[in-house]
Amino acid sequence: MKTILFLVGSLRVESMNRRVSLIAERMLPEGYESSRFDLIDVPIFNADLRAEHTPASVSALRGAIAHADGVFWTSPEYNFALPSVVKNAIDWACRPMLPRNPIVGKPMNVVVATESPSYGARALADIKRIWGNCAGVPVGFDYVVHEAPSKFVMEDGAETFEPVSRKRLQLNVDNLVRAIDADAGAMVLANWDAWVESMTS
């Protein structure tokens, strides 16, 4: 059984992106299971809090990412950029950098849901860029759910998307699954380990 970790870049209980995450979670194929981690207890990054001083929530976040075969973010866009809660989580997760942090080689996809009819692409690009900067493996294609409140519908007693948006969301879940099944992070992991060895041998 393979695992996809679902992370939400908003701390609001009724966040649209939390709702999108729950819809995406139900789209996993046979052979996959989901895990979730709430970022609300992760403190603001502080480089003094390391080793034996590492907060328990940070250790738990790193463990959740390490255990997962892939990560699926849903996030809003704030002020034409990614939310601080997303950047903060990545800042914690990628440290200590050596010998290998849990983001290295980890396939990740992201969907941004927004009330706006046009904004959202910047946050999506930010998250993929920063994940890639940390040697993670961002997956295409890009999907911003514009005017998201109008996309939610009830079907058989459960919240989902209207058909067109549901198809786009399913594609992004499936693309992450394909990346995991294809072991898309293998070369990144190999290159990373070779780089680390070159510095220590």
Compute how many other C-beta atoms are within 10 angstroms of the C-beta atom of residue 61: 23
- At 158 the pLDDT is 95
- Write out the residue range of the structural domain in which residue 130 sits: 2-200
pTM reported for the whole predicted model = 0.96
Question: What letter would DSSP give residue 108?
Answer: E
Which residues of the chain have a pLDDT value below 70? 201
Residue 159 backbone dihedrals phi, psi, to 5 degrees: -75, 135
Of the chain, the percentage scoring pLDDT greater than 90 comes to 98
- At 201 the pLDDT is 67
CATH code of the domain covering residue 115:
3.40.50.360
- At 59 the pLDDT is 98
Strands 158-161 and 152-155: antiparallel
Q: How many CA atoms lie within 13 A of 35 on its CB side?
A: 17
pLDDT tens-digit map of 28-81: 999 999 999 999 999 999 999 999 999 999 999 999 999 999 999 999 999 999
Cβ pair 66, 92 in contact under 8 A: no
**Structural domains counted in the chain:** 1
Q: Say how far apart CA 72 and CA 178 lie, in whole Å.
A: 13
Residue 110 backbone dihedrals phi, psi, to 5 degrees: -145, 140
State how far the alpha carbon of 201 is from the alpha carbons of 95, 99, 104, 139, 196, in Å.
22, 13, 21, 33, 9
Amino acid letter, 44? I
**149 by DSSP, 3-state: which?**
helix
Report CA 136 to chain centroid distance, whole Å.
10
Length of the chain: 201
